[in-house]
Structure formats: structure tokens, C-alpha cells
A and B are shown apart, each in its own frame.
Chain A
Amino acid sequence: MWLPENKSNNSKKKTVWLLLGLVAVIGVTVLLILGLSTGGGVGDGWPVEGGGSGTVVLDTDFDCGENCEGNFINVDSTSYENLILNKQSFIVVVDQKACVTGVRLRGFIDDYVGESGLKAYRIMFEDMKQTSLYDKITYYPSVAVIDKGKMVAWLDAESNEDKPMFNEFESFNAWLNKYIKK
């Protein structure tokens, strides 16, 4: 028998309370971790998933400078995050260097911005990985709609629902028009 025959009841009670306290600490810690990890909504009513509601009024008066190429303004990760910090509203295209992947979507975007007169930012996938866009966009090409610094919609290359927007201009046009007040 490992306990001395005359072990007091007080010692046993202390042991039980100690174990209960330990379980409580572990439980609270786990709950805190779970609570922190399930956050992620935009927080102001905009849905996080592609396909939100409402319209976005874009700031079309871009200051192009020497980064303009046709209807696109090339940005890097720093420039992009500054746009977010300044709560700008815009379209951003995610693309990548020297790649034929997504040629069709590039054509749709070219046609859309050409017809609408809107300008769009363009960021390379490599740079995009350093930005908040990478929380949602993990493949290129893609298009994201930003409203006052918050992402409200984007095209997901892994989503079956988004497949038509990658392959049919009418679908792409209709999707993007949902978010843009011209």
C-alpha cells in the first residue's frame, strides 16, 4: 500500500482540489484557443464567402503614374497594403509571371475593364502571398473586390460555383457587376 495508513483527509482533499484546478485551467485554455481560431468574419456585415450582397462604389480616379499599363496599375505587396490601410475601394487582379494558366480569365478582365472604363490594380502572385489577400486567394489568376479596405468578393479556383466565371464572359461579367456601382 503506497499511502501511509494514517494519511489525513486534508491531504486527500488538497490533492482533489489541485487536480480540479488543473483541469479547469486546461479547459479554459482550450476554449480560449478555439475561440481565437474561429474568428475571421469581416465583422461589419459583409459576408466572407465569394458572392456577397450590396454594391461597391469604386474609386475610379486612380493616380496611375508610371505603373499604369493599359487599364491596369501594377502594385507590389507594400503598395497593396497601403491601399487597404487607406480604406480604398477597387478591383485587384492576381496574376503570375510568364504563365499560360488562366489565359481565358485574363481576357475577360481585359474586356471588362476596357468596356467599363474602370481601372484595376494588378499584383503578381509571388507578391500577393505577402498580403492579406493570401488569406483567401491561394491560386491565380483571380479577381478580388475590395470595399473600403475590406475584401468582399473573390474568385476561388477550387470552387465549383466559381467555375463559370473562369470560363464564360457572361458569368464573369454578371458576377463582377453585382459588386460594382458604376
Chain B
Amino acid sequence: MKKYIWWICVGAVVLAVGAFLLGRFAFPNTLPALPAPELAEGQRGELGIDKNINEKTIDNYLNRSDAVYRDLRMLKDPGDYEAIGGDAYLSGFVRGFEVVPFPYIVNVTGLPEVVGDTYTGETLFTYENGLYNANYMESKDILAELFPKDKVIFLMCGGGGYSGMMKKMLVDLGWDASKIYDVGGYWYYDGENRVKVKRELPDGGVVYDFYKVPYHEIDFGKLERI
């Protein structure tokens, strides 16, 4: 009897190891399927924020090899947000997301008068009369590099505004809407992957550890203007 139990245990271990190796090497890149993009209820849906993949659930979808993760905020937004009690610095982000400032992609319109203009410098595109016009010869290539068409694209910003605008722009320019998710806003994120950039000092001062931020710089000085 003991001999049989011994062989049963050995067989179970062998099967377990075999199953592990099979899963690890025979199906190395099996990723769980993503729910199709679906708009959230209410005003959040109007912004384009996804119902299923958003600030509350994004932790379940990080680190996918078939996806890119883009945070559309600026490190420092030059708009006079102090006028509405604002701090214009990026104070944190979700690990895995890389910052691509939306105001560098296309001109931002529709801000409240008291804020004034935000970034008004160079942009890859100018949105006018319903059309996105490239300002540089490299604009489309850069956009495709930052937002690969063959990848799932997760977009996030502070409250969902920039990410919604970015998704609209990509779809208008021919990207597949079923592969783009507006995850919403960092301010609503309470998950396990928060990276704090803002640090309060003992004397009450504040510093921003921007070295922590994976950031995509666009050097407009090196581009060929159309």
C-alpha cells in the first residue's frame, strides 16, 4: 500500500512539473482576451472613458506585451491653473504608463478663459475646421511610433479629458477604435501601481521627482516643418 502511495505522489509531481513546462514554453504568450471597448455610463461615457477598463480595473491589464500605455499629461502644464487653485505639475502616474504630452501632439482648444491658453508652442498637428493637419514631415511617423496601430493602446490622463481627445484623434486618423481604451483619470486611481512624483519636504516645500517618469520627448527643433 505504501509503495503505491509513493508512486502516486511521484506521478502527481511529474504531472505538475510537466504541466508547468508545457504552459511556460508551448504557450508562452497567451494573454487573456480583453473586453471590447464600451463607453461608461453618464458623463464619463461622454468623455469616452471605458466602462470595463478604467481607473478601477487597469491593474488587471498592465504589463501586456500586446499593448502600449500612454499618459497624455504634461510634466508641467503652462496654463494658469493657479487661477482655479491649481498645481500644474504631474504629481504621479501609474507604473507602466509612459508620458506623451497631448498638447505636443495637437493644439488644445476649449479651455476656460480664466485659465487662458495652455501650451501654445509647437505641435505635431493642428486641428482646424474638423481636420488634423500635419505641421512636420515626420508628424505622422512619430504618431505611429508613439501609438502603434498593431498594439492595444491604453490612454490615461488626469481626469479623462486629454485621453478622450487623443482617442478621438487617433480614430479620426484611421486607428482601430476597438483597440483603443480611454482608461480615464489618474486622480481616480487607487490601485497598487501608483508612482508618486511629488514629494513633500520636512520644511513644507515640495519637489517633483521627474526622473521617475518614462517620458517621450519630441524635439521639434530637429523636425522638418511643412
**A residues neighboring B (CB under 8 Å):** 69-70, 72, 74, 95-103, 106-107, 110, 122, 124-126, 138-140, 156-160, 162-163, 166-167
- Cross-chain pairs A/B with CB under 8 angstroms, 13 sampled: A69-B85, A74-B85, A96-B159, A97-B88, A99-B157, A99-B161, A100-B161, A101-B157, A101-B160, A102-B161, A157-B42, A157-B44, A166-B43
A107 engages B41 (CB within 8 Å): no
Question: By the criterion of a CB under 8 Å from any partner CB, how many residues of chain B are at the interface?
Answer: 34
| With known contacts A110-B112, A122-B84, A139-B188, A99–B159 Cβ distance under 8 A | yes
Query: Judging by beta carbons under 8 Å apart, are A158 and B86 in contact?
Result: no
Q: Across the interface, which residues of B come within 8 angstroms of A158, CB to CB?
A: 40-44
Say whether A138 contacts B188, CB under 8 Å: yes
Given A95-B84, A97-B85, A125-B187; 11 other pairs, CB 8 A cutoff: A96-B158, A97-B88, A99-B159, A100-B108, A103-B111, A107-B112, A110-B112, A122-B85, A124-B86, A163-B42, A166-B43
* Stretch of B3-11, B75-83, B140-148 at the chain-chain interface: B75-83
Asked whether A101 and B161 contact (CB < 8 A) given A124-B85, A163-B46, A167-B46, the answer is: yes
A167, B44: Cα distance in complex, Å? 12
C-alpha spacing A96/B84, complex, angstroms: 9
B162 touches A100 (CB 8 A): yes
List of A residues within 8 angstroms of B130 by Cβ: none
Q: Bound state CA distance, A110 and B112, in angstroms?
A: 10
Contact partner of A96 among B42, B46, B111, B187, CB < 8 A?
B187
**B100 contacts chain A at the CB level, 8 A cutoff:** no
| Contact A98-B88, Cβ < 8 Å, known A69-B83, A158-B42, A163-B42 | yes
**Assembly CA distance A156 to B42 (angstroms):** 8
B129 shortest CB reach to chain A, Å: 20
* B87→A98 contact, CB < 8 A: yes
Contacts of B86 in A (CB 8 A): 97-98, 124
A125-B187, A139-B44 are contacts. A97–B112 as well, Cβ < 8 Å?
no
Q: How far is the CA of A74 from the CA of B87 in the complex (A)?
A: 13
Tell me which residues across on chain A come within 8 A of B41, comparing CB atoms.
158-160
* A101-B47, A106-B112 given; A160·B42 CB < 8 A: yes
Contact B185–A101 (Cβ < 8 Å): yes
- B43 → chain A, closest Cβ, in Å? 4
CA distance A98 to B73 in the complex (A): 9
Cα–Cα distance between A158 and B55 once the two chains are bound (Å): 14
The minimal Cβ–Cβ distance linking B82 to chain A, given in whole angstroms, is 9
Interface code B108-147, partner A: CB below 8 Å = 1, 0 otherwise? 1011101000100000000000000000000000000000
CB neighbours (8 Å) of B111 from chain A are 100, 103
B84, B89, B165: which has the most chain A beta carbons within 10 Å?
A: B84
Give Cα A115–Cα B77 distance, bound, in whole angstroms. 30
B81 cross-chain contacts in A, Cβ below 8 A: 97-98
Determine which residue in A96, A122, A124, A159 has the highest number of CB atoms from chain B within 10 A of its CB, and name it: A96
CA distance A62 to B137 in the complex (A): 56
With contacts A99-B159, A103-B112 taken as known, whether A162 is within 8 angstroms of B43 at the C-beta atoms is: yes
A162→B40 CA distance, assembly (Å):
13
- Measured between beta carbons, the chain B residues less than 8 angstroms from A157 are 42-44
Q: Which residues of B, 204-221, contact A by the 8 Å Cβ criterion?
A: none
- Do A163 and B84 touch across chains, with their CB atoms under 8 A apart? no
Bound state CA distance, A118 and B84, in angstroms?
18
User: A160-B41, A162-B43, A163-B46 in contact; A99/B112 too (CB < 8 A)?
Assistant: no
